[in-house]
Amino acid sequence: MFYAPRDPGIKDIRARQNHVGYGMGLGVMLLDDAYPGFPGDVRNPSAFPFPIQYDIATEVSNKTLVWDQDKTPVRAPIIASAKRLEKYGCRAIASECGYFAYFQQEVANAVSVPVFTSSLLQVPFAQTLIGSSKKVAILCAQRRFLTDRHLEAVGIDPNSNLIIGGAQDELGVTEFDKLWDPEKRPQEPYARYEACEIQMVEATKALVARDQNIGAIIYECTVMQPFSRAAQREVGLPIFDWGTLLHYAYSVVAARDYFGHV
């Protein structure tokens, strides 16, 4: 990528809307929360092969976005963050938490670039791929906080062929509590990779065991995709996560050339 020849299609440069940066990739709204992320986590850009610009959604934390029932206070700072990323020049906007889905429509209406607030956007796509006789299993961080509003905002019918499980509050992924749970995490949040992997594999297997008609899995949480490969080896099903979403998001706003032979 860094040694590719100049794109001959770029013959001049022109200002685009009110963008101040160019050659940008995805803009990602971060929670205003200090915790680490493994490579593959959306808040860790080191594993992604495209440029990422971060912006902190001020005062939007795991507690205020996910735990608090009244989400009105976080609407304005989320929209403000998206607008800043658009002004930077980002070609599309994403977030680092699947529960941003709650504001998918508001954010999409506030900016002029595509918005991918949640990996849950892939649920209707997955449902179409596997057919109506099979079910999509959603593994979210905490089931108790995922409402019909979250689902409907990204085009999901809550009464459709779904099974939903909570990694932390139902299926034993306690390692994640050390990162996000405002009631349990230590002063310096941390997590152990191997423990996360073991727990995620077991949680995925337990969720799939609930119904023999599950045909695909969606990981809601942005820290889950580093463990998709290990889980897929065990369950043998398609897994959609934040990695699949972000690669798709970048591909639709930065189309690639194809070189080969005939």
The residue that leads in pLDDT, 19 or 118, is 118
H helix or E strand, kind and range, residue 196: helix 193-208
Identical fold at 26-118+246-253 and 119-241? yes
pLDDT of residue 2: 57
- State the pLDDT at residue 155: 97
Per-domain boundaries in the chain:
26-118+246-253, 119-241
At 3 the pLDDT is 62
Q: Is 60 exceeded by the pLDDT of residue 136?
A: yes
Instruction: Output the CA–CA distances (angstroms, integers) from residue 48 to 51, 81, 96, 119, 177, in the order listed.
Output: 8, 21, 14, 16, 25
Q: What is the pTM of this model?
A: 0.92
Q: Compute CA distances 254 → 8, 56, 162, 187, whole Å.
A: 16, 24, 32, 40
Token reading at 112: 């002029």
Percent of the chain predicted with pLDDT > 90: 85
- Whether the predicted pLDDT of 82 surpasses 60: yes
Over residues 215-230, mean pLDDT: 97
Angstrom distance (rounded) from CA 138 to CA 84: 31
> Tokens in use for 124?
């209707």
Helix (H, G, I), strand (E, B) or coil at 60: coil
Residues 100-132 pLDDT 10s: 999 999 999 999 999 999 999 999 999 999 999
pLDDT of residue 4: 66
Average pLDDT estimate for 142-148: 96
Show Cβ contacts of residue 21 under 8 Å, excluding neighbours closer than 6 positions. Answer: 53, 88, 89, 90
Percentage of the residues of the chain whose pLDDT score is greater than 70: 98
Residue 171, pLDDT above cutoff 80: yes
* pLDDT, tens digit (0-9, with 9 covering 90-100), for 185-203: 999 999 999 999 999 999 9
The candidate with the shortest Cα–Cα distance to 176, out of 210, 119, 224, 129, is 224
Lowest model confidence (mean pLDDT) among 200-204, 231-235, 256-260: 256-260
Nearest by Cα to 117 from 144, 88, 82:
82
What's the average model confidence in pLDDT over 231-260? 94
- The fold adopted by the segment(s) 26-118+246-253 is Rossmann fold (3.40.50)
Architecture label for domain 119-241: 3-Layer(aba) Sandwich (3.40)
pLDDT band (50, 70, 90) for residue 31: very high
